[in-house]
Amino acid sequence: MFRGSYVCCPRDGASLVPATGDPLVGTTFATRYIIEELLGEGAMGRVYRARHARMSRKFAIKVLFGDCSIDAKMCARFAREAEASSRLSHVNVIGVVDFGETAEGLLFLVMDLADGPDLATILAGEGPLSATRVLDLMLQVSEGLAHAHGRGLVHRDLKPANVIVERDEQGGELARIGDFGIAVVAEDHQATRLTTAGLVLGTPHYMAPEQATADAIDERTDLFALGIVLYEMLAGVLPFDGTGIEIARKNLSCDPPPIAERVPGLQVDPELEALAFHLMQKAPSARPQPAREVVDRLVLSEGLPIVR
């Protein structure tokens, strides 16, 4: 799967022809996964629903575009980050169960299949959310983030579209963070500068100032994005209007407006709003740290004992 003006495969020189429909749907992928349908597409590849050829278990498979997989830096970064993602095992994180390269040279990542809408879809249809619901979802996302940070992983693209909300066995909401596809190993900031020219890592609407200016990033970068997600759940809108680039600039230089100014007449929980503003501090050192501190504050807001 190549994008752009490729007429020949850069690997073996074979001629390429435009695909009618998705070339992977209905095929057996990597000898053991049957691709059932396309779920979505991002900057680096496509995500499919698949089932194992010899088991009933279903998965989500992310397949990188061919033009990404022929880039040596991209391959090195993908392999390193896929291995790092495989360290994660938490109810609020979508787990990685397999990764590799097909005989045709396609790089892929196999994840647990999370069956539910993403938080962005929920916010578009139901936002702003009630304080009780915000507290519940925020606590779960913070728990998942704390787990990832504890394993040395920085997500760096946390946003509502990357949080899937399933139903648990009791009918409640189960939030799970997904798409660690551009995650970085926290202790390896310089090595993770391995990027392809023109590839934007992260979503401008949720970028921390240090991320937008290509400064060093760490776990606190995710906490800034978490603050914007919290603000959006409370207000039903982002702190700023504009294009992605305009919003990234405002995140860099402007203080977010109080929710009462952003959405006149809307009353929100003051403690949750205060937490959102604490997380959205421009300086990383001024934000809560680590993510476990956010969990503790949310637990106290809910009136529950902190259990270690």
Strand partners, 178: none
DSSP string, 104-167: T--EEEEEEPP-S-BHHHHHHHHPSPPHHHHHHHHHHHHHHHHHHHHTTEE-S---GGGEEEEE
Q: What is the pLDDT along the chain (308 residues), one digit of tens a residue?
A: 666 665 566 556 566 666 667 889 999 999 999 999 999 887 778 999 999 999 989 999 999 887 777 778 777 777 877 887 788 999 999 988 898 889 888 899 999 999 899 999 999 999 999 999 999 999 999 999 999 999 888 998 899 999 999 998 888 999 999 887 556 665 554 333 334 433 445 688 999 999 888 888 899 999 999 999 999 999 999 999 999 889 999 999 999 999 999 999 999 999 999 999 999 999 999 999 899 999 999 998 876 544 44
Determine the pLDDT at residue 71. Answer: 77
Q: Which of 98, 118, 136, 157 is catalytic?
A: 157
Residue-level pLDDT at 11 = 58
Our answer to whether residue 12 is catalytic in this structure is no
pLDDT at 190: 39
Rounded distance between C-alpha atoms, residue 62 and residue 59, angstroms = 10
